[in-house]
Structure 1
Amino acid sequence: MFKKIFLSTLFLLSFAASANDIADIDETSEQIVAYFAGGGTLVEADEKPLIYRKILKNYPDGSHLIQDFYIKDSYVMDLLRVCKEDLSSTHEIKYTDPYRVNNVSLQILDIVPNEGAKIQWDARGFKSGIVHYHNGKKHGVETSWHSKEQKKEELNYINGKREGTHIV
């Protein structure tokens, strides 16, 4: 009887451990996977990049939740000083909101989500653009803004093709 209880306990413990292992598969510590210069060129960390990309989460299907950030270097800090913005206490200055991408190269700045929106921000924290995607193609309204959220333009897309009027 003791042997049966012991073996049953071992079985349950091994199942619990494997369930935890599966849950841990899609978690990562946030890791920087790429650095980009102005214009989106991939560079090394010591080549004065403007933006860096973090993986926030890996999913079992091979997709990733990623987010891009400005590097708080002299260029960004000078820009903020000229604009009389104080973000010195901010730990990270986001370039995009988090978005999920399929199994694609994370070494390209302009990758797009398969589904949902990609939202971009300027270094002062103002929204600069939002594009909606469906099946990896622009779908819905694409909006861009000048500084301080003054609307620059609005375009409509259906399955990657521009449709309708162009509002400036």
Structure 2
Amino acid sequence: MNKGIKKIILPLTASAVLLGACGNNTPTSEDETLISSKAGNVKVEDVMKEIGNEQIASNSFKVLLNKILQDKYGDKIDSKSIDKEVDSEVKKYGGKDQFNTLLKQQGLTMDEYKEQRKTIEYQKELLNEKVDISDKEIKDNTKKASHILIKVKEDKNDK
């Protein structure tokens, strides 16, 4: 068989098999078995519980960390300066409507974006307090890089 045809048939066959496996016979009830094995069955409820627990734990940690940082560094962050920075970003991106469209694409509102900016400032304050790096340390640990440009003769076969 022609190599070109093989390259087309193989992905098409794989796609058909995968799409066929994605039928509407998926379990919908939490008690339905998702996977059966000799070691035991995995139910939809088990999978959903695991996914939910990880997301809840992650989000809870983020909320707690933000509250701690806000409590500790809230007086060092100037909300008005953040608002001014956001206003300049709005102008930079073509106005409020266009900026809101960009935020919507990211799944954010203007208030959520401003809160994110405050959180970033809190994190910067924490890092500035805990990490102390001198200019000398930066200079000593910076690697110098250079590249050499060479000219290669063109070969008639290269074209």
User: What TM-score do you get using the length of structure 2 for normalisation?
Assistant: 0.27
Higher strand proportion = 1
User: What TM-score do you get using the length of structure 1 for normalisation?
Assistant: 0.26
Higher helix proportion = 2
Structure showing greater radius of gyration is: 2
